[in-house]
Amino acid sequence: MIQVETQSSLLEQALSQNLSISYSCRRGDCGQCLGELLDGKVEPLDVNKPLLQKEKLYLCNALARSDLTVRLPYSPETEHIKVLRSPCKIHELRPLSENVMEVRLRMPQASQFEFVPGQYIHLTNKERVTRSYSLAAPPASDRHLCIHVKRIDGGLFSDYLFLRARQEDVLHLEGPLGRFVMPDRGSVSKTIFLATGTGIAPAHAILSALTVQQLSRCGALFLYWGNRCRKDAYWHDRLGDLAQRLGVRYVPVFSREASSGSAVQLSYVQDLVAAEHADLKDARIYASGNPAMVETTCKQAAALGLPAGNFHADPFTAS
């Protein structure tokens, strides 16, 4: 139970009282802060932003107007994880393609930072711009964290990283956050990952950290990675190797360029998955990257019988 006042959002108040809640945009776009309103009255902070999605409440846009009962999302896999706020340093900036930069971050020696593969962090630079980035690799013993950042023309944070950032720059990190993780229970006959662009980061972190037990609960594994064209698919070879090691069927998908004589598909990942998997009643789906892809996948998968609890979404909503 927490005591709240009526002038600021439930999210801000829950965070100020150290409740563990995922969030990113703080303005009703990303859906990371959704909770379930069981009882009570709420009003929107901003009437132009969503307050409720079915029975789900956008905590960042909700003001309490009575005593409330709200069920926060719970995942046993992330329950032991503490959200930390810590400085970190840029250890390395490595272009992966024309438009994607791998940024390796170094945590302080004494840092207790832990995360579950699939989670994301918030980074704030000296210019006080904060953005969310998914961790692209599983936890490593050298305390390095790896993210992939796509360049957005005129984008405040990505421009900083591509144009002005230097090794040893100090950033402020908050995290880890998010519940886009592999559950520790429940078997399915197939598990399908769909990612677009840098959405491959959390999918790669999850896949490369799978334990033997988790693998056995996944059933047949599929990975669809969508990009506009071949030159954007910066991790094609690496994913090919990973797929071979794990026995994953890896399908690169290009929306604008067919590659003659290769097995590459010309399509959108969500359409290809719907065409290739007519029955998803016993499946689990992970969709990360473009928010429109994630939303369409969710709708199409539900129509093909996917149980709601088996859809895991990590939309990279613009901040």
Candidates 157, 224, 250, 311; binder of ligand FAD (CB under 6 A) is: 157
Least distance (Å) between residue 132 CB and ligand FAD: 4
Q: Which amino acid is at 163?
A: L
Measured in residues, the chain has a length of: 319
Residues that bind ligand FES (CB under 6 A): 23-26, 28-33, 58, 60
Binding partner of residue 147 among ligand FAD, ligand FES, none, CB cut-off 5 to 8 Å per kind: ligand FAD
Judged by CB under 6 A, the stretch of 70-78, 148-156, 224-232, 303-311 that binds ligand FAD is 148-156
Q: Residue for token digits 């908050």?
A: 174
Footprint on residues 113-142 left by ligand FAD (CB under 6 A):
120, 129, 131-134
Return d(Cα 33, Cα 90) in angstroms, integer. Answer: 28
Judged by CB under 6 A, the stretch of 36-44, 65-73, 156-164, 279-287 that binds ligand FAD is 156-164
Q: Is residue 319 part of the contact set for ligand FAD (CB under 6 A)? A: yes
Footprint on residues 194-223 left by ligand FAD (CB under 6 A):
198, 201
Q: Residue for token digits 């030159």?
A: 231
Least distance (Å) between residue 30 CB and ligand FAD: 5
Nearer to ligand FES, 4 or 25 (CB): 25
Give 27's contacts (C-beta < 8 A, 6+ positions apart). 46, 49, 60, 61
Give 53's contacts (C-beta < 8 A, 6+ positions apart). 31, 34
Footprint on residues 275-314 left by ligand FAD (CB under 6 A):
314
Q: What is the contact surface with ligand FAD in residues (CB under 6 A)? A: 24, 30, 120, 129, 131-134, 147-150, 152, 154-158, 198, 201, 314, 316-319
